[in-house]
């Protein structure tokens, strides 16, 4: 066997899981500015529990976040605060 080398994978963000989660979430929010919940975030309007549940479902179904990522976000201020920090 040869030496171990680091390989760059094209199209995959580099960094920690938290950094990748933030990058993916920010990219999603930028691409979907026309969605009502994203518009509310951009305009600093109040979001509902339904809005937050929708965002969680989107983040999971689009592989933006893992359940563990969302648990971490919930324990450190909540998803609303997290996504507002990205906008």
- CB neighbours (10 Å) of residue 52? 16
Q: How confident is the model over 21-56, as pLDDT tens digits? A: 899 999 999 999 998 988 998 898 999 999 999 999
**Would you list the domain boundaries of the chain?**
17-86
CA distance 40 to 4: 47
pTM over 0.85: no
SS3 content of the chain, % helix, strand, coil (to 5): 60, 0, 40
């Amino acid at each position: 066997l040869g030496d171990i080398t680091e390989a760059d994978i094209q199209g995959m963000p580099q960094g920690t899981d938290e950094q990748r989660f933030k990058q993916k979430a920010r990219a999603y929010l930028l691409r979907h500015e026309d969605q009502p919940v994203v518009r509310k975030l951009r305009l600093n309007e109040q979001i509902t529990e339904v809005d937050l549940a929708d965002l969680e479902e989107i983040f999971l179904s689009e592989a933006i976040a893992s359940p563990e990522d969302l648990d971490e976000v919930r324990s450190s201020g909540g998803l609303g605060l997290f996504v507002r920090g990205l906008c």
